[in-house]
């Protein structure tokens, strides 16, 4: 072969390689487009402190929740669905990252000034979906920290939701009972005026500013424990705030404000696959139903805001329907932790509870390692796609990343996230075989129907909130199959099972299996 022939052969080879790789690219983009056309929208509706027994579909009889009940009846009702922790920030962290919250020692209830809890390099549901061509948004409660320490609320706030995968964010920074009491859209405080800057401090008050502790005459809602710092709209909060008068939210309008933004988001993004994390603030304290919901539950503000939340969910679903999106949208509804009645304000939650059982048949509540701390309503709905049913498969919110990734054709996974998309879609009853449960700094293990709670020295009960925490200096072992209410500790009578659970717990939890409770009680 002479030199010309060699050159010619090399050219042909190169051309062939180029053509092949072009074809591959074309194929690739065709495939992507092909998938994208069919990719369903995904909406996660996430309530705050809604208990397992707080909705009709899970047994509530004393208060109407027709819209949530309809989703459960026409979709999948999961009876063994868990939040990843018995409080908010860790549950939200785990939901978005697919990673157990106890792997991140900062994943605890955060003050309004906490830096961003999610590392910007971590995989998250919105990040994963964005790579698949989704538009991603969050409307509602955030409570995952903002900035990198010492946030200046008067400048663009970053990093935040927009730096961990959300294209659009309309949030409250922390909780309704924590300052700053303002809405933040894509990092900017809305309605802020330059001559009235916001200052926030969680340690000390600003000179001359009234507080819930010193100025009870200014309060329209009284504090019971904690919640005695700055007063906003007659409600005493956690943390001190000065300035930002025009930017402050109106508590009674919050549900409507978030609903309208969530609806607007859907309408604006209906022509592309979208992911919306719609994070309701109810029924967390302070419970401030809009006037039109006052008295609708007969149970005081806590019941009224559940009725209000249910209404919001109904209106939101109507928007999906009106936009012709119901057949192409997977809706997942759940709660960040279990229920609490008195969580720091006198608001009749205890007095007017009547026969209602927020935890249903479960023991404990918010903050508790018993079942009601983390087992929550968990419903999936997709018109025409999910055959209505009830599933007792065990699933955790940490599995949403892996499951949604599978649905969207992504290989991204969270560290602890399992692909349980078939469970969510009602095609399989094979859930997790085991799950680590968390409440504040404590963890326990569920495997099959067995729950093992290691010895913890902390108080058996939080007397402020009147909830059993699950602490006991002895090992606890329960069989949920015939003891859903965790009344019979079988640790003594079933040493073999106990040993097996202790060994598995130590294997999964490592050193953390020996951590002791450091309960934060204010
Ligand atoms: C607690 C608050 C409680 C609530 C909770 C966070 C006190 C005494 N209690 O510290 O009212 O705000 O934090 O709830 O301050 S969560 O659902 O966001 O985790
Ligand atoms: Ca919560």
How far apart, in whole angstroms, are the C-alpha atoms of residue 219 and residue 229? 12
Pairing of strands 222-223, 345-346: antiparallel
Ligand 2 centroid–CA 79 distance in Å is 19
- Reply yes or no on whether the pLDDT at 39 is more than 50: yes
Q: Which domains does the chain have, with CATH numbers?
A: 41-198+243-432 (3.40.720.10), 436-521 (3.30.1120.10)
Whether residue 102 contacts residue 132, with contact meaning beta carbons closer than 8 Å, is answered with no
3-state SS, one letter per residue, for 386-417: CCCEEEEEEEECCHHHHHHHHHCCCCCCCCCC
Ligand 1 atom with the shortest distance to the CA of 177: 12
- How high is the pLDDT of residue 4? 52
**Digit-coded pLDDT (tens) for 189-204:** 999 999 999 999 999 9
- The Cα–Cα gap between 470 and 90 comes to 18
Return the pLDDT at 510.
Answer: 86
Residue range 227-256: average pLDDT?
98
Give pLDDT, residue 98.
Answer: 98
Are 491 and 472 contacting, i.e. CB atoms less than 8 angstroms apart? no
Residue 446: strand, helix, or coil: strand
Tell me what percent of the residues of the chain surpass a pLDDT of 70: 91
pLDDT attached to residue 514: 65
Mean pLDDT of 455-472: 97
pTM over 0.85: yes
- 154-158, 386-390, 396-400, 506-510: which has the minimum mean pLDDT? 506-510
pLDDT score of 517 more than 50: no
Strands (E), 131-219: 135-141, 168-172, 183-185, 188-189, 199-201
**Confidence band (pLDDT; 50, 70, 90) for 511?**
confident
User: How many residues would you count in the chain?
Assistant: 522
- Average pLDDT over every residue of 488-507: 98
Residue-level pLDDT at 18: 43
Whether 117 and 104 have beta carbons less than 8 Å apart is answered as: yes
The phi and psi torsions of 215 (rounded to 5 degrees) equal -125, 60
Which is the closest atom of ligand 1 to the Cα of 366?
A: 17
Signed CA dihedral, 264, 81, 57, 392: sign only:
positive
Which residues are in the CB-under-5-Å shell of ion ligand 2?
48-49, 88, 336-337
Distance between CA atoms of residues 502 and 454, nearest Å: 8
Res 36: pLDDT: 42
The band of 271, judged by pLDDT with boundaries at 50, 70 and 90, is: very high
Smallest-distance ligand from the CA of 108: 1
Q: Enumerate residues 6+ apart whose C-beta is below 8 A from 487.
A: 363
Mean pLDDT, rounded, for 381-399: 98
pLDDT at 8 over 80: no
pLDDT at residue 21 tops 90: no
Q: What is the mean pLDDT of residues 288-308?
A: 98
Kindly give the distance from the C-alpha atom of residue 110 to the centroid of ligand 1, in angstroms, as a whole number. Answer: 9
Band the pLDDT of 119: cuts 50, 70, 90: very high
Question: Ligand 1 centroid vs 189 CA: distance in angstroms?
Answer: 23
What is the structure's pLDDT at 307? 98
| For residue 24, pLDDT beyond 50 | no
Q: For position 520, what pLDDT does the model report?
A: 41
Specify the residue with its C-alpha closest to ligand 1, atom 4. Answer: 343
Confidence (pLDDT) at 391: 98
CA of 178 to the centre of ligand 1 (A): 9
Could you tell me the distance, in angstroms and rounded to a whole number, from the CA of residue 152 to the centre of ligand 2?
A: 26
Q: Reading across the β-sheet that carries 442-447, which strands appear in turn? A: 434-439, 442-447, 450-453, 476-479
Q: What local confidence, expressed as pLDDT, does residue 189 receive?
A: 98
* Ligand 1 binding site (Cβ under 6 Å of any ligand atom): 48-49, 87-88, 109, 143, 175, 177, 225-227, 238, 284-285, 337, 343-344, 522
What average pLDDT does range 161-171 have in this prediction? Answer: 98
Nearest residue (by CA) to ligand 1, atom 3, is: 343
């Amino acid at each position: 072969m002479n030199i010309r022939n060699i050159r010619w052969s090399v050219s042909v080879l190169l051309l062939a390689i180029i053509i092949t790789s072009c074809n591959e690219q074309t194929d690739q983009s065709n495939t992507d487009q092909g998938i994208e056309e069919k990719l369903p929208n995904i909406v996660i509706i996430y309530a705050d402190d809604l208990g397992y027994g707080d909705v009709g579909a899970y047994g509530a009889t004393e208060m109407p929740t027709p819209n949530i009940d309809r989703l459960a009846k026409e979709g999948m009702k999961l009876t063994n669905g868990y939040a990843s922790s018995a409080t908010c920030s860790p549950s939200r962290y785990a939901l978005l990252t697919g990673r157990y919250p106890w792997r991140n020692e900062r994943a605890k209830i955060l003050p309004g000034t906490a830096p961003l809890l999610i590392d910007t390099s971590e995989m998250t549901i919105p990040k994963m979906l964005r790579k698949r061509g989704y538009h991603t948004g969050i409307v509602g409660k955030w409570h995952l920290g903002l900035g990198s320490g010492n946030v200046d609320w008067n400048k663009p706030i970053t990093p935040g939701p927009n730096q961990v995968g959300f294209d659009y964010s309309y949030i409250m920074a922390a909780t309704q009972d924590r300052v700053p009491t303002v809405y933040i859209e894509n990092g900017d405080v809305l309605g802020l005026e330059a001559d009235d800057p916001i200052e926030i401090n969680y340690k000390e008050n600003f000179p001359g500013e009234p507080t819930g502790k010193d100025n009870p005459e200014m309060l329209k809602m009284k504090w019971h424990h904690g919640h005695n710092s700055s007063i906003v709209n007659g409600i005493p909060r956690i943390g001190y705030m000065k300035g930002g008068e025009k930017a402050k939210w109106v508590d009674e309008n919050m549900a409507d404000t978030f609903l309208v933004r969530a609806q607007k988001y859907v309408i604006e993004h209906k022509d592309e696959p979208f992911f919306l994390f719609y994070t309701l603030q109810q029924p967390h304290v302070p419970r401030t139903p809009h006037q039109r919901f006052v008295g609708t539950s007969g149970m005081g503000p806590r019941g009224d805001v559940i009725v209000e939340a249910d209404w919001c969910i109904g209106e939101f679903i109507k928007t999906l329907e009106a936009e012709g999106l119901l057949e192409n949208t997977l809706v997942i509804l759940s709660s960040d932790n279990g229920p609490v009645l008195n969580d720091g304000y006198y608001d009749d939650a205890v007095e007017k509870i009547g026969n209602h059982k927020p935890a249903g048949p479960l023991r404990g509540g918010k903050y508790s390692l018993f079942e009601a701390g983390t087992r929550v309503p968990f419903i999936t709905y997709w018109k025409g796609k999910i055959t209505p049913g009830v599933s007792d498969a065990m699933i955790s919110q940490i599995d949403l990343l892996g499951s949604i990734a599978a649905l969207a054709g992504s290989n991204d996974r969270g560290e602890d996230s399992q692909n349980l998309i078939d469970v969510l879609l009602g095609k399989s009853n094979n859930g997790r075989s085991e799950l680590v449960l968390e409440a504040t700094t404590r963890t326990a293990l569920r495997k099959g129907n067995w729950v093992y709670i290691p010895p913890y020295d902390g108080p058996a009960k939080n007397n402020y909130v009147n909830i059993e925490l699950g602490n006991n200096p002895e090992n606890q072992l329960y069989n949920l199959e015939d003891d859903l209410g965790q009344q019979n500790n079988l640790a003594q009578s079933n040493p073999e099972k106990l040993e097996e659970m202790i060994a598995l717990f130590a294997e999964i939890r490592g050193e953390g299996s020996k951590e002791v409770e450091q309960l934060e009680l204010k």
